[in-house]
Amino acid sequence: MILIKGFLRGTSKRTLLANRYTCVPVTTHLYTQSILTYITYQPVNMNVFDGKTDRYRGITILSNEIAYSNDHDFEEKLANSLISWKESSYRAAWIKVFSQHSSVIPICVKCGFDFHHAQPGYVMLNKWLKTDEPNTLPEYANQYIGVAGFVVNERNQLLVIKETFSEQAKWKLPGGHAEKQEDLPDTAIRETFEETGVKCKFESLLAFRHQHNYYFGCSDIYFICVLRPLTEEINPCLQEVKECKWMDLDEYINNTDITDANRFFAKSYKQQLETKMAIKPTKVWNFRKNLKNNIYSLQTLQD
């Protein structure tokens, strides 16, 4: 214990001072002429992993940011950490293990952690710590996002393809999965160009389909974006596309070699032209007002 003297005016108050070990709460007794502050040193426990706390009282550690000498040392520190985290009222623990530290994964499982998700280069595990509360940890992302380009030229022709690897190739729309941090219009434009060689600009969102039991038990949301071609010369991707052409829109609707969903999309496009209404994005500030997001709403088509 250390005694610090000073000279201040005021009344007793509680504050938070930092020493070179850690931040500790201290009680400050203020007198008319002098101050007596008592600080109890609480050295950082080197046998406990340090992590980052989230707003839900969860703690996350990264295998490339923690110190341990070997797997046995990791197991000992993890066990100590779990005791400490529970005593500190943490609700959950997350461990991100990178590929180069994969030998500790069985140790995490042994200590009660379970797999949450994996990506190239790492696996994320978690453990619910509040045994008197139901586990409310969120499941990992369980929806795929696909986007197609509904490209119609001035001659009312639709750009359609047949895929190379499809067992029953039907005339369909160019498109594919959205990449991380990619807006829907950008996905439609990129995928259309990659598969057909046709450059486009975004006009509106036509429709979307939501289906379940997709890859790996996930669901799939498939957005259809109306695009206008900036070029019309077709240069298809030979690895993915077997056939590609411009087809009259009514011919496409009446074609027996298309799915019911694509026929519905084509009919919806014609209805959109008749009603002169379309779903379009508007940039709106997020709640922190540091970024504008796309909010899609029904708007009047401009002539």
Residue boundaries of the structural domains of the chain: 52-128, 143-300
Which residues in the chain land under pLDDT 50?
1-43
pLDDT tens digits, one per residue of 252-278? 999 999 999 999 999 999 999 999 999
pLDDT at residue 41 in the model:
33
The CATH-assigned architecture of domain 143-300 is: Alpha-Beta Complex (3.90)
pLDDT at residue 34 in the model:
36
Domain 52-128 and domain 143-300, same fold? Reply is: no
Q: State the fold for domain 52-128.
A: Aminopeptidase (3.40.630)
| Cα–Cα distance, 150 to 254 (Å, whole number) | 17
pLDDT at residue 168 in the model:
77
Q: What is the pTM of this model?
A: 0.77
pLDDT at residue 188 in the model:
98
